[in-house]
Structure 1
């Protein structure tokens, strides 16, 4: 960690303008459908269309490929503001970055030019296929195989817990390409297209939260992948995948901040109106202390995420520490703040008439995906011990 770097992040006028614009889209085009999306476990199509129309569906794509060219901090602001009203919808820009980040980090110019422009145009989302049922945190234990066949590769196996599976058109998929090679250095990355013969999906998972974002298995049955769809060189896949997570864990931190902020906003609105013992419950000191603790935690998490986002943009050497810390802390905050928001609303908070119970359910996954918070603490500790 570089303790002499005091200019860790700075919000520009452009950043504030982006926040204002995405908040308007979120409140007008996304919030009205959030409860229905959750209730029906339906993909938030209205949100997707609104985000594509406003260029917020994949803001990270560089301008040279037709994208908005938003920096990492701006992308986090987009995700945060959408998550304030609908966590499921915030996974549209978050997963588009996750799925395409390996292409940006390790792909050839040819593969970038092929897949990033349609992503920027909103013609197809990008998902990320790393985890398997028996290879979650232990990613190097994956069983998915890609076998060479001339200039092509034949892909067999499965991936599990894939966000927006079945909706996205493109998938970054990690597979073992050298079964006899050194563990972790025998894995390569490929782009798989939804239309590829032999590629299919499992049934949607029945989840606690983020119900509007489909989570399904990916199934590969002798899927032929042209050799020019490999991202990077053979054996570089896991290295690229882990570098990707250093960057995209920050976006999950941003999602967590947004969920927590949305819950705090809802709690503030409620306690100023709800009356007991002849006065608004916001006037009771016990409630005020709870709100103060919630607000301090949310703002601390936000600052950590913004610092990590700026380090992501610069490619700082200490990004692994800051990315893991921001994701871990922000997601723990989201879980606590949403739980406290339900408590602040009392019995009303436990009903679907108010959004805080949905936010509490949505918050839980931020402590699990893109690396559990136990794994984040291992990453943090290892980076500390290297100093």
Structure 2
């Protein structure tokens, strides 16, 4: 069968308004990550699972493409020559179980709305992306973000998944599954899989009570070699609420002005979270630092900068050794900015920020995500899971190329 016949069948299934094939409209819907060699065949917007089941039948019958699930479009759903399935119509909160501290939501739900609904019940997901996006997209990349210093990645709070495979709809895990169990945890394997096994329809996530106090602080130094930074690192390491530090991000910002030398500022973005007494005590320690600007700050300040990452370097070193590594990395790439983001107290990721039109930058992010998930250690189990869940190889079929 031909491409034209498949497009005709897709329009019959989803309706003409919910099937996009024009390149001009792709660029609007898939943000900034579309390149000619990655042009998808079509983008479809289903509204019910019945349509997805019929889509699988069409793809099997036509045998000319596969399927790439996609959420809000902030990342790499455009890296596909297949049919992209836009899941943003699957955006319902199905349940909030206050007694078990769990919630079940559809994966097209965006974080901003989700967080507001949880606030009404004095609950929160322990971590969230830097910026807005869908639940499904965050899980697809095993998201780290605001809260990762204390809570790790979204994988740690994924309790159950409803997955549409190329064979059938399957449920993995339940809301009663404890966070740490023996044996294979198949929900863990789905976190970071980028749609490789199927379409995640809904998920059950663990929640926590809203902390008494959450406070964001910005500490700014005018130069990268400021001798006071060493004392700052020691104070950060001594905070009583260190385990409640939900996000510690270190940013190098460079500004260029005609005829003037480059000015480098080092900014520490810190989130304290916990009991009122303990947070206020740690806040007083931070305000005791001399010769710096200290102010409240919105964590979403860095969201635009995080779009353009050219290289990811993960370090597992003692906390106080971190800043020396940070400086050394910056001196190697002085023309760019660097973000250092803690994934845990002893693990930090460095991100080199490139220009927005740098195609190599964007493709490097995609490759880094693939390398992290499809590592030599993970690959044997991933291949077995692929045969089990997607024997027809319909989803992200070029991922291992």
By relative contact order (CA 8 Å, sep 6+), the higher-ranking structure is 1
Give 1 or 2: higher strand fraction.
2
Structure that is richer in helix per residue? 1
- Work out which of the two has the higher radius of gyration on C-alpha atoms and give 1 or 2: 2
Same fold (TM > 0.5) = no
Coarse TM-score class (shorter-chain normalised): under 0.3
